Amino acid sequence: MIEFSVVDWSAWAPGLASKQDWQAWAQAPALPHGEDTPALSEVPAMQRRRIERLGRMAIQAACWCEQPDDDGQVPLVFASRHGDVARSMELLDSLRTDNSMSPTAFGLSVHNAVAALYSIARGHRGNYLALAAGRATVEAACIEAYGLLADGAEEVRVVIYESPLPPVYAGFADEPDPYYAWCWRLARADRPGIRLSLGWGAATADSPAAALPHGLDAMRFLLAGDSRLQMAADGQQWTWQRHG
C-alpha cells in the first residue's frame, strides 16, 4: 500500500471547464459530451495549432496545475489508456491506401507526444514519462509518482487524459470512453491536502463496466468525498481509501 496527498487538482471535459463545474458534477456524475475544446491560451498560437483536441485537453489540465514559482523541474507523469489512437488509425489508413504518411503526424501519434509538446511549450526541463496500463492506468500513474516522491521529489504532477476509440475499435471497448483530462498535484502523505492510500492484491474476476470510465470515476471519488473506491482488472484488485 502507498499513501500520498493530493495537494491540488484541475480538470477539463466538454461542458466542465471550472472547479465549480466539476464539484457539482461529482455530486451527480454523467458522461461528458460536447464538441468544445479548451482555449489553451497558455501556449503560443504557432504551437497550439499543432495540438489535437486530446492533447489540448491534457496540456490545459497540466497548465492549470502549475504554480507561480514553478521552475520547470517538477516531475510529470502523463498517462492515457489509448493515447491519440485516432491519429494512429489515420496513419494506418494512409498505409492501407498506399499514400505517404506525414512525418509530423507520425511524431505526434506516439504515446509520449503530448508530454513532449507540453515540455516544449512550457519550458519544462525536468523528468517526464508517459504510460498506459489498461483500466488501471490511473493506479499505475500514481505508483510511478509515488516512486518519484520516494526518490526525493517534493511534488509530482499526474495528468490523465482519454478520448473515444475510433469506430474500428469500438467493439473492443470495455468501458465508456468520453473526452476528459485531469491533473493531480501529488506530494508526500504528511503534506496538507487530501490524503489517499492505494492498495492492491489478487482479484478473481474483473469489475463489470460501470457508468463512468475508471479514470473519470477516480476523479469523482476525489471530489465527492467518498471514503473508498475499488476496481478489479487484469487479475489485480485496487483499493483507494480517503484518510481524514
pLDDT at 101: 66
**3-class secondary structure, 229:** strand
pLDDT at 15: 97
Range of the domain at 17: 2-243
pLDDT tens for 169-228 read: 888 889 999 999 999 999 999 999 999 999 999 998 999 888 999 999 999 999 999 999
d(CA 117, CA 62): 12
Domain count across the chain: 1
Instruction: List residues bridging with 186 in a β-sheet.
Output: 6, 156
What the block records as the C-alpha cell of 142 is 500514481
Q: What is the DSSP letter of 227?
A: S
What is the 3-state composition of the chain as percent helix, strand, coil, each rounded to the nearest 5?
A: 35, 25, 40
Contact of 157 with 65, CB cutoff 8 Å: yes
Contact of 80 with 161, CB cutoff 8 Å: yes
pLDDT at 72: 83
d(CA 144, CA 129): 9
| CATH number of residue 174's parent domain | 3.40.47.10
106 pLDDT higher than 60: no
**3-class secondary structure, 240:** strand
pTM of the model as a whole: 0.93
